[in-house]
Each structure stands twice: as structure tokens, then as C-alpha cells.
Amino acid sequence: MNREEMKAYTFEELANVSRKNPMKAETAKQITFGHRLLHWGFKGKKLKGWSFEQIVKEHIIMADLMIHLKEIYPEARNKGHKMEDDLDKTLPKELQDLSVK
């Protein structure tokens, strides 16, 4: 898997990718910040110790949380997950369909 393979991955395809540095997701703010940080890291910035595969896997998890954020945290101001850049093209089709275009 590499950046040239900009396709929709399934969680099963990423099952063997380590989550040794998972994003914190205990509050709406942490979820929103973690999601932004993953996009920042994907755009060529360095996330120390993160591989492309780890960013893609963690993004799937965070995007799913963003989509359901209002259900989890009713006080959250965020209105779901938005399709922004190529990192979003790596989301499974189901999550892409639930994201704001």
C-alpha cells in the first residue's frame, strides 16, 4: 500500500496495520482535532512514527466517529465528516457515502 494507491480501503485490508499510536477519541474536541491532524499529516507534514497505512487506518476510525459525532456527543458543534482531499478517497465507500460532499 502506498500513496499511489488512492483507493477506498476496507478495514479488513488494514487489519494487520498497527495502531500503536491511536488518536485520542474521548471527547468531541479530541475527535475533531485528531481528524484534522491526520489530514495535516497526510498532506506531507511529518507525523513522527506514522506510516501511510497507519494514517489511512486511523482516518477511517476518526471519520466514522465524525460521521456519528452528534449521536455520541449531542453537544458537538461539528456536523459530520466532510470530503476534503485525497485522504478521504481512502475511506470505505460506505463512509464516503455518509460524508458531506
Domain boundaries, the chain: 24-98
Identify which has the larger pLDDT, 22 or 2: 22
What does the block give as the cell for 41? 499529516
The confidence score (pLDDT) of residue 76 equals 87
Distance CA 17, CA 54 (A): 6
What pLDDT is stored for residue 5 in this prediction? 63
pLDDT exceeding 70 applies to what percent of the chain? 95
How far apart CA 20 and CA 78 sit, in angstroms, is 27
pLDDT of residue 1: 58
Cell of 42: 497526510
* Nearest-10 crossing angle of helices 28-42, 52-67: 140
> Strand pairing partners for 100?
82
